[in-house]
């Protein structure tokens, strides 16, 4: 595991599900990723631009952001209309990369994006087919509810249908939006949870259209469902700006079998302090911080 420098993720979901935007937020970038073929050769982005805008991607290609080369992403084709041939290619890729004898070529996690812009059909048939037919083995699949902000329009419409005037409805929009999200999440969990190979985790992301959109919940969920400590450390090391995640992991390692009360207070305090530091524009290397924290915790234990 020491020789692996990059955390590899397969990103799946419908066309226009907001997948690229999430990757940009994770990597703190507004740029498009560099594209490499399966042999590590850089692909001319202009040559594939047309296929990218149409939502088609060659799943073997690697997407890497210059802002955070610690990640390698693979992007599937739009999964709502996946034909039998395309589904077979995805299944073959997942099976091969989940069990590859080359650790560097294995995928370590799968993010399956479901947009709430299509809340009337939260789970498509092709998506159920994936969770019924595709055994990912030890590779965890996390369902990511994207474009959750679209539920605000549904909330407004629902309140207007109840006859509330807009001025009064404004006071209840957030509550209504929260209820709709809980309902959609429960539906997705119920549908996919009964599949043969259900997801390991679920996350809902808001404000991804904003430059400072926060993906911490997605990273925390991914760390929690990984079944190898080495992979957890690898993922943590890619989080150059997610100091809170680094702290939480470092303390969890230390307090295994200990009382959590003090540890949680410690985490929350450091989070508050580092949140302030980050707001002031300072930068802290997460990998170095993790090492320092683990060393310090060992000396006080």
260-300 pLDDT, tens digit each: 555 555 555 566 555 555 555 555 555 555 556 555 555 54
- Cα–Cα separations (whole angstroms), residue 299 to 204, 249, 254, 268, 293: 38, 17, 11, 21, 10
- Nearest CA to 112 out of 221, 214, 250, 213 is that of 221
Average pLDDT over residues 39-64: 67
Q: Hey, how many other C-beta atoms are within 10 angstroms of the C-beta on 125?
A: 9
Average pLDDT over residues 85-110: 86
Type and span of the H or E element at 8 = strand 7-13
Which two tokens mark 14? 């419908």
Give the whole-angstrom CA distance, residue 265 versus residue 263: 5
Q: Give just the sign of the alpha carbon dihedral 224, 228, 231, 232.
A: positive
* 79 close to 126: Cβ distance less than 8 angstroms: yes
* 220 close to 53: Cβ distance less than 8 angstroms: no
By DSSP bridging, strand 34-36 and strand 7-13 are unpaired
The 3-state secondary structure of 87-100 reads HHHHHHHHHHHHCC
Locus of tokens 């997942």: 94
Task: Please return the burial class of 15, using the count of CB atoms within 10 Å of its CB with bins 0-12, 13-18 and 19+.
Answer: middle
pLDDT at 273: 56
* pTM for the whole structure: 0.78
Q: Is the model's pLDDT at 54 over the cut of 50?
A: no
pLDDT at 53: 43
Give the whole-angstrom CA distance, residue 118 versus residue 123: 9
Q: What is the mean pLDDT of the chain?
A: 78
pLDDT tens-place string over residues 160-214: 777 776 666 666 888 888 899 999 999 999 999 999 999 999 999 988 888 888 8
- Nearest CA to 179 out of 148, 214, 210, 201 is that of 148
Question: Looking at 94-188, which runs of residues are DSSP E strands?
Answer: 109-115, 141-146
* 10 close to 76: Cβ distance less than 8 angstroms: yes
Give Dmax over CA atoms of the chain in angstroms: 63
Could you tell me which residue, 149 or 298, shows the higher pLDDT? Answer: 149
Q: Is the model's pLDDT at 255 over the cut of 70?
A: no
Task: Please return the burial class of 52, using the count of CB atoms within 10 Å of its CB with bins 0-12, 13-18 and 19+.
Answer: middle
pLDDT tens-place string over residues 113-145: 999 987 667 788 888 999 999 999 999 999 999
pLDDT at 5: 83
Q: What are phi and psi of 247, to 5 degrees?
A: -60, -45
3-state secondary structure of 28: coil
Give the whole-angstrom CA distance, residue 155 versus residue 169: 9
Average pLDDT over residues 34-52: 70
Locus of tokens 């549904």: 154
Q: Is the model's pLDDT at 61 over the cut of 80?
A: yes
Which two tokens mark 94? 């997942």
Q: Is the model's pLDDT at 148 over the cut of 60?
A: yes
Contacts 24+ apart (CB under 8 A), 290-293: 290/233, 290/236, 290/237, 290/246, 290/249, 290/250, 293/246, 293/247, 293/250, 293/251
Q: Provide the pLDDT confidence category of residue 155 given band limits of 50, 70 and 90.
A: confident
């Amino acid at each position: 595991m020491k020789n692996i420098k990059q955390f590899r993720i397969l990103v799946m979901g419908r066309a226009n599900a907001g997948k690229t935007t999430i990757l940009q937020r994770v990597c703190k970038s507004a740029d498009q990723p560099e594209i490499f073929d399966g042999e590590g050769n850089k692909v001319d982005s202009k040559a594939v631009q047309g296929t990218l805008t149409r939502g088609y991607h060659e799943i073997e290609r690697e997407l890497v952001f210059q802002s955070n080369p610690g990640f390698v992403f693979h992007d599937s084709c739009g999964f709502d209309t996946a034909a039998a041939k395309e589904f077979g290619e995805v299944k073959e890729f997942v099976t091969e990369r989940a069990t590859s004898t080359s650790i560097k070529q294995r995928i370590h996690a799968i993010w399956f994006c479901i947009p709430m812009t299509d809340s009337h059909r939260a789970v498509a048939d092709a998506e159920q087919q994936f969770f019924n037919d595709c055994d990912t083995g030890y590779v965890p699949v996390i369902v990511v509810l994207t474009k959750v902000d679209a539920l605000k329009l549904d909330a407004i419409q629902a309140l207007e249908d109840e006859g509330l005037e807009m001025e009064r409805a404004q006071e209840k929009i957030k509550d209504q939006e929260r209820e709709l999200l809980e309902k959609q999440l429960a539906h997705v969990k119920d549908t996919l949870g009964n599949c043969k190979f259900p997801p390991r985790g679920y996350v809902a992301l808001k404000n991804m259209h904003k430059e400072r959109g926060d993906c911490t919940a997605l990273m925390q969920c991914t760390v929690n469902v990984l079944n190898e400590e080495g992979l957890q450390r690898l993922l943590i090391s890619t989080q150059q700006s997610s100091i809170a995640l680094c702290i939480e992991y470092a303390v969890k390692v230390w307090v295994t079998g200990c009382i959590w009360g003090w540890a949680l207070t410690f985490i929350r305090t450091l989070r508050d302090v580092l949140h302030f530091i980050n707001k002031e524009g300072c930068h802290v290397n997460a990998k170095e911080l993790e090492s320092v924290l683990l060393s310090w915790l060992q000396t006080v234990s």
